[in-house]
Amino acid sequence: MGTSINPFLSLEHITTRYLDKTLFDGLSWEIQPNEQWAITGPSGSGKTALLNTILGKFNIINGSIQYYFYEAWRQVNTVTDPYFNYRNLIAYVGHHHTFKNLSNTTTDFYYQQRFNSMDADNSPTVQEHLGITEIPVLLSALKIQPLLAKRLIKLSNGETRRVMIAAALLKRPQLLMLDNPYIGLDVQTRKDFTSMVNEIIASGTTVILSTSPQEIPEHITHVLTLENGKITGRYTREAYLQLPIAQEAAPELPQLEAGKIAALVANRQEFAFEDIIRMENINIKYGENVILKDINWTVKQNEKWALLGHNGAGKSTLLSLVNGDNPQAYANKLWLFDRRRGSGESIWDIKKKIGFVSPELHQYFGARDNSLQVVCSGFSDIIGSTKPATEEQRNIALTWMDILGINQFAHQPFKQIPESSQRLTLLARALVKNPPLLIFDEPCQGLDTQQKLHFKQVIEQLCEHMPVTMVYVTHYEEELPSAVNKFIRLSKGQVI
């Protein structure tokens, strides 16, 4: 058989198991040379699992995967390393980074590290991470040059994604797999990213990416649709784009039980604040880098704000001042809950008044932590710590999980429950201490359309049933709950 008629990659009737779960049963899929595929389907349909199966991470108990591109590569390249295999020719970029610190290669970053200049210096620069002295041609589309001297921990979402792809391309892979690469990117960065993927494909690398149906780069030639671990369609890009778009109806959300919420909120301390947040001419810089410039912003009790801006506009830094995570707060005129920062209150006095929800928090919990432990960690305010809770705390946590419809996951490992339920678990974690301020930092990142609608409806109902001040960050304004009626937009560190 001549090599030319072999496919690039072939999955032949594979049955895949992970832990005690069957992910795929008898699945077949073939990729021909020069084909570029997008995998799409609802959250939980198996997109990430399929990429990980090709990567060799899961147990294939039946059928096989034929890596024909590896055989073809071996015929023209000499390999002396006995451990060299098909995995050496595949690069995978997920949506959670796995960067390490300089001082201890086994620890990941801690959440507040990026805002502490001393500890941020313990994070490698982009140049150190990539191990390059000059930019090779294959990285030109990534615009890496201006990032080389930056510390990894200081990168914005979009910059982090570019660096992860740069590291992947430096492996000179035959196959590049991108898992949900558009997550957390603003409109302009998404456009830049699409043209970058097109350039990577034009350079001769085969690309498979999981994505939403709305975000398929032009150079993708084929689309695979998945649902519940089964292939529901194989299309050329043109045929796929001509399919009628299924109008997704808003999910029927059971009304949150107002009585239970009222009971939980009844025993909260009554807070009466003049200003929840007041900033006067706030300036934040790291070295020569100005991150925030002359910010004036006041948030009154029970106001509902949207915080908007492009990747790298300064939103995370602004939130870090409110959250008590940024030591530069003391050098600025900042009042939180009517107290000037630096007038004697501790970071913990601030944190106990704030409920914080961000998909990023997911990374700081252990693989064994169950969902109830994660919810109870909201009482201690230490991200990633799951110290034992009191009986009363467990009861409050379980009541919130019941209200949000996730109590069936209480004793399951947090990282193994569906992504939308993980997000509601983090919401329950924010609510357990009845905080006067809720901060949402892109809470719907990575959820499908139905799950985003569901999360939005939950927030809208909570706003109806309990007094709360809210700051909501997102790149997609359609995700904003209807209660939001005030807006602050940043561009390059300034309010516009």
pTM, full prediction: 0.75
> Residue 207 in contact with residue 36, Cβ under 8 Å?
yes
**Which pLDDT score, from 0 to 100, does residue 105 have?**
43
**Which pLDDT score, from 0 to 100, does residue 94 have?**
85
For 155-193, letters b (16+ CB in 10 Å) and e give bbbbbbbbbbbbbbbeeebbbbbbbbbbbbbbeebbebb
∠ CA 122-123-126, rounded to 5°: 145
Q: What CATH number should be reported for the domain whose range is 3-241?
A: 3.40.50.300
| One-letter amino acid of 211 | T
Sequence spans of domains, the chain:
3-241, 258-495
- Residues 6 or more apart whose CB falls under 8 angstroms from that of 134 comprise none
Question: What is the residue whose two structure tokens read 């005030």?
Answer: 486
Query: How far apart (Å, rounded) are the C-alpha atoms in residues 457 and 279?
Result: 31
Query: How far apart (Å, rounded) are the C-alpha atoms in residues 339 and 330?
Result: 12
Q: How far is CA 287 from CA 290, 364, 494, in A?
A: 8, 28, 18
**Which pLDDT score, from 0 to 100, does residue 106 have?**
36
Residue 366 CA, distance from chain mean position: 17
Sign of CA dihedral 439, 250, 44, 87: negative
Strands 277-286 and 333-336: antiparallel
**Which residue, among 182, 150, 188, 187, has the nearest Cα to 165 in the 3D structure?**
182
Q: What CATH number should be reported for the domain whose range is 258-495?
A: 3.40.50.300
Question: What is the residue whose two structure tokens read 């929800």?
Answer: 357
Q: What is the pLDDT along the chain (496 residues), one digit of tens a residue?
A: 444 589 999 999 999 988 778 999 999 999 999 999 999 998 788 999 999 999 999 989 999 999 999 999 999 999 899 999 999 999 999 866 666 555 544 344 444 545 554 455 667 899 999 998 888 877 877 788 888 988 887 787 678 888 998 899 898 899 999 998 887 777 887 888 888 888 889 888 999 999 988 889 889 999 999 999 999 999 999 999 998 865 555 556 667 777 788 778 776 666 789 999 999 999 998 878 888 999 999 999 999 999 999 888 889 889 989 988 888 888 899 999 999 988 888 888 888 899 999 888 888 888 889 999 999 999 988 777 778 899 999 999 999 999 888 999 999 999 888 888 899 999 999 999 999 999 999 898 878 778 888 889 889 988 988 889 999 999 888 899 999 999 999 998 899 8
Encode the chain in three state secondary structure. CCHHHCCCEEEEEEEEEECCEEEEEEEEEEECCCCCEEEECCCCCCHHHHHHHHCCCCEEEEEEEECHHHHHHHHHCCCCCCCCCHHHHEEEECCCCCCCCCCCCCCCCCHHHHHCHHHHCCCCEHHHHHCCCCCCHHHHHHCCHHHCCCEHHHCCHHHHHHHHHHHHHCCCCCEEEEECCCCCCCHHHHHHHHHHHHHHHHCCCEEEEECCCCCCCCCCCEEEEEECCEEEEEEEHHHHHCCCCCCCCCCCCCCCCHHHHHHHHHCCCCCCCCCCEEEEEEEEEECCEEEEEEEEEEECCCCEEEEEECCCCCHHHHHHHHCCCCHHHHHCEEEECCEECCCCCCHHHHHCCEEEECHHHHHHCCCCCEHHHHHHHHHCCCCCCCCCCCHHHHHHHHHHHHHCCCHHHCCCEHHHCCHHHHHHHHHHHHHCCCCCEEEEECCCCCCCHHHHHHHHHHHHHHHHHCCCEEEEECCCHHHCCCCCCEEEEEECCEEC
User: Across the chain, which distance is largest between two alpha carbons, in Å?
Assistant: 79
> Residue 337 in contact with residue 276, Cβ under 8 Å?
yes
Question: Is 258-495 the same fold as 3-241?
Answer: yes
| One-letter amino acid of 78 | T
Question: What is the residue whose two structure tokens read 């920062």?
Answer: 341
- Residues 6 or more apart whose CB falls under 8 angstroms from that of 303 comprise 276, 469, 470, 486
Residue 37's Cβ-count burial label (10 Å; 0-12, 13-18, 19+) is buried
Residue 300's Cβ-count burial label (10 Å; 0-12, 13-18, 19+) is middle
**Which pLDDT score, from 0 to 100, does residue 249 have?**
53
Query: How far apart (Å, rounded) are the C-alpha atoms in residues 161 and 144?
Result: 11
Sign of CA dihedral 46, 51, 54, 56: negative
**Which pLDDT score, from 0 to 100, does residue 258 have?**
76
**Which pLDDT score, from 0 to 100, does residue 12 have?**
96
- DSSP lists the bridge partners of residue 151 as 125
> Residue 470 in contact with residue 304, Cβ under 8 Å?
yes
> Residue 304 in contact with residue 294, Cβ under 8 Å?
no
